Every structure is written in structure tokens, then in C-alpha cells.
Structure 1
Amino acid sequence: MAKVEFPGAAWRKSSYSGGGNDCVEVALLAERVGVRDSKDRDAGALSVSPSGWRGLLTVVGRA
């Protein structure tokens, strides 16, 4: 799988992370949502559709 990068993306962490460096970061892009590991930012990121991201949030919200 190719490494995906988003130059100039504004990455943000959840306010629930407690200020640590062990969570995911999200960047809202023009037509995609970027997701990366805050511990390994150089590893690249995943790119998901907005509907895929909403689906993930729905499932996680039920956990």
C-alpha cells in the first residue's frame, strides 16, 4: 500500500486525548478525511470518504 500524505493539511487531535501523544489525528480535506497515528506521523495517513468517516464515528460512539 502506498504512503498517503496531505501537504498543508490542518491536523487536529480529539479534545478527549488528554493532551497525550497516543491518539489519532484527523484532517478535513476537500473531498476526503485524512486519519493518521499521532505517535507515527511520518508513516503516512489513511484517506476515507466523508460517509465512511461518519460511519466509523457512529460505530465508535456505540462502544
Structure 2
Amino acid sequence: MEPMERTRQWAIEIYKGDAEKADLFLGRPHPMLDNRRPKDVAVDDSGAERVISLLGRAAYGGGV
């Protein structure tokens, strides 16, 4: 699976199946990604892991 698709699938899971909310998250600049959009960061494996980690922290109480 491509890095961005893997990231999107994880975002959809975090947003409890809501693809629209996941896509909104992926399309907005985020301060913890140097104000870059998650979908622009997740173009390779290391960027995808960075975004997935951010989503995990948000979902499981690590704060973002």
C-alpha cells in the first residue's frame, strides 16, 4: 500500500469511519508538521509514519 493511502486508511479509522473528517484533517496545515498539510508530508514511508504517529497521539491521549 502506498504511504498516503496507508495514512488515509489510518485517519479514517481514527475518525471512526468518517472519510470526510479524515480528508479534512489530511488537507489542513498542522503546526506539529511545520504547518504543512499531512497529505503533503505523507508522500513517503517516513512522512507517513510521522502523520500516523500524530494521529495516534491525538486519538489515544498523547496530545497534539
User: TM-score, length-normalised on structure 1?
Assistant: 0.31
Specify which structure has the higher proportion of helix: 2
Specify which structure has the higher proportion of strand: 1
User: TM-score, length-normalised on structure 2?
Assistant: 0.31
Quick check: which has more Rg, 1 or 2?
1
- Structure having greater relative contact order (Cα 8 Å, sep ≥ 6): 2
